[in-house]
Amino acid sequence: MKTILDLEPQNVWKFFHELTQIPRPSGKEEKVREYLVKVAKDNNLEVMVDETGNVIMRRPASPGYENRKIVTLQAHMDMVPQKNMDKTFDFEKDPIQTIIDGDWVKADGTTLGADNGIGLAAILAVLTDKNLKTGMLEALITIDEERGMTGVFGLKPNVLKGDILLNLDSEDEGEIFIGCAGGMDASITFNISREPVPAGYKAFQIEIKGLKGGHSGLDINLGRLNANKGLNRFIKYAMDNLDALLVSFDGGSLRNAIPREANAIILVPENKVNALMDAKNTFDKNLHNEFGDVEPNLEFNIKETQLPSNYIKKDIADKIVKAIYGCPNGVLRMSTEVEGLVETSNNLASVKTSDDKVEIQCLMRSSIDSAKEAVGEKIKSVFELAGAQVVLSGAYPGWKPNPNSEILNLAKNLYQKKYGKIPEIKAVHAGLECGLIGSKYPNLDMISFGPTIVAPHSPDERVNIGSVKKFYDFLLEILNNIPNKN
């Protein structure tokens, strides 16, 4: 049976395989950073680690190519750590197990890390290719892109030398991206108090699982069910109609992933257990009627569980559930300038319960900064009215398209010449690092492109094998045709 080491281009897949063997969840990039520095030193490349933890490498111009414009190749070293509920896996210790499935490479029950591992592997392949003749190449490999773009937030001006930046973090081969949305986080905290469980109640665990989830920007327009919002609907019904009490609510895990699973523990009076099961059947039917076409594996389950010692005080739980119900989620506005592009959205990403707190995370995105800020204030208003503390943070700008870009026109012409068709020129409702980089290096001419990656940020993530070769060949074609400095 083939492994990914047998795939073409072998130098790209070799580096990607090595990356899959190194744990690199966001915030835990120490080992992959050591690996990148070692690759650079083994290949006599200039390398530095900045104070934030980003790795910057440089390869000198080939003889005769010294007058070419300097190209900065850009990717991030971290990956989203998502796994199926039934998969035993430690993202801080275990290597990713890759599987070739027809025309695709995927992982065994976890995220694959093709986002952005393939882009990073392509950079390493280029920098270590002894036969490649190019001008000076620079690589910016950032940390913590998936969790909060800490790497580019910490990037200093006057570090990069490039005239052109090629971001290799897009996920549709045959498309060139020239703009992206900005984003902002909302961190919401309810301080809770608890009361002892009264007599005459039974405890039940309720859960929604089997959802597709996906990237909270790229997949937000696909009509998928947010597990937190779905489960909250049933909790509210049970509290309003069955005198249910809330013990805990936990769903989602990452700010930039649509929640795939959520569970809660509720208490119901013994004389309303039958009504609970009837409500379960009705709710299950309604969910499948609403979402069955897009969520064919949706499961809604209820089972009796051990009686806890306490529950969240009823008036507090009521405010929490109503605020989650009222929180905007999903696509909020489509772009009026770019057909089919989401302009503004919010992802109610996670709900976590501890003994004395319920903590909620949202990630809002927009290609218009003022619209992003307005959504943040709307979310803040909803939760503050319910008594929560809300902090809006981590705001990063969008990347404004430049349709007259020199590198865009070059790449578009080269793609048409090589593959016989004009690539699609797009903006994306996701947080590429180009917006922040451009705010610090306004003279950089930038585009973004990559191979075809499906379902990033979920255990269904997979990368198309043939697209990796086309993506890498296209990258080499651009590097071979970089214009001279003026």
Active site residue ranges: 78, 145
> Residue 97 to residues 281, 289, 319: CA-CA distances in angstroms?
38, 36, 43
- Short-list 208, 177, 179, 160, CA closest to 435: 179
**What's the sign of the alpha-carbon dihedral 401, 403, 404, 410?**
positive
How far apart CA 236 and CA 436 sit, in angstroms, is 40
